[in-house]
Amino acid sequence: MKAHSISKRHQAVFTVSIDFELMWGTADRPYSADFRSLCEIERREVVDRLLGLLQEYDISATWGVVGYLFLDRSENVNLPRAAIAHKGPAELFHGPDLVDRIRLCKVKQEIGSHSFCHIEMDESKCSPLAAESELAECVRQAGKLGIELKSFIFPRNLVGHLDVLKRHGFTCYRGPEPHWYAKKRRAIRRLGHLFEIAAAKTPPSVVPHEEGGIWNIPGSMLFTPSFGARRCLPVWMRVLRARRGLDRAVSRNEIFHLWFHPTDLACRVDAMMDGLRRIFEHAARLRESGQLVIRPMGDLVPDPDFGVSEREAQLVA
């Protein structure tokens, strides 16, 4: 099927997507133990403070939730990767209480999916059967809570099995950021990313495009964590880049798509939260002046502000 992109919008958009995974994202990595303390801070402090910021600035974000977090400690599922949950503290692999807090936020938040057990869905690493099992379980567990999943965030941004996503009712996903180094080796990607932050390079604004009946809403910028080598980069550089990205989206009537993990905020929590506050303040000013709208991913496609009707969005050849 031929790809289709939206070429004209009436207004710029700011969207925020959050990869909510606790320990699931690093449990299979050799540095997993280093993330345990960060996940403890995430659970104890970060989620509530982040929800407070989103509520203060009236921002509906998309939370890509690892489906296993819907389960309490007494529940389990028969999926191969689910066994990881038995290798660490239960509170870092289960999170129904945190999901409830997200759902009860006074500013409505979108619950999307980040797979069920943080499985890499690149088709070279994940079989169609594994993808089917993961997504079916996501939809089943969310349905128990009355949640209809529309937006998908791929673990480690490895895109695959879009046909399976569509079959399970997903309408959009976050695609990789359109950077020159996106398909380079990991070391080059990291160096390219650090250079962009240090140079305060303006991140891209993006336009959704559709292929095979599901819409790709690419990321624009990761709100980079402050652990590792990136600790040396001051938070104000991240803020400056995001503000420039918002301004660029306004000048082009495109989307600025900011994303991060709550764990990314768990090192230097106060500084990182203050940085997010300054980004949200800038977005709120642009909204108040009528230059920008703020919406979650699931509300973006199809959308009259993108210049296409729902019928047009469905009739793509």
Q: What is the largest CA-CA distance in the chain?
A: 51
Closest CA to 151 of 166, 167, 173: 173
Q: What is the pLDDT of residues 277-315, one digit of tens each?
A: 999 999 999 999 999 999 999 999 865 444 443 433 433
Residues of the chain with pLDDT > 70, as a percent, come to 90
Instruction: Indicate whether 201 pLDDT > 90.
Output: no
How many Å apart are CA 91 and CA 267, to the nearest integer?
19
Q: For the chain, give me the number of helices (H) and strands (E)?
A: 9, 11
Closest CA to 235 of 196, 274, 177: 274
CA distance 215 to 314: 11
Q: Is the dihedral of CA 179, 215, 105, 96 positive or negative?
A: negative
Question: 60: domain range?
Answer: 4-314
**Token digits for 59?**
């921002």
- Residue 3 pLDDT level (bands cut at 50, 70, 90): low
Q: What is the pLDDT of residue 308?
A: 43
Tokens read off for 85:
């949950």
Higher pLDDT pick, 89 / 28: 89
| Domain containing residue 177: CATH number | 3.20.20.370
Which tops the pLDDT comparison, 134 or 85? Answer: 134
Structure confidence at residue 5 as a pLDDT band (50, 70, 90): low
- How close are the terminal C-alpha atoms of the chain, in Å? 6
d(C-alpha 317, C-alpha 306), whole Å: 18
pLDDT-based confidence at 182, cuts 50/70/90?
low
pTM here is: 0.90
pLDDT on residue 33: 81
Q: Cβ atoms within 10 A of the Cβ of 56, count?
A: 14
**What average pLDDT is seen over the chain?**
89
Q: How many domains does the chain have?
A: 1
The predicted-structure confidence for 225-252, as pLDDT tens digits, reads as follows 988 767 778 999 999 999 999 999 999 9
Dist CA 16 CA 22 (whole Å): 18
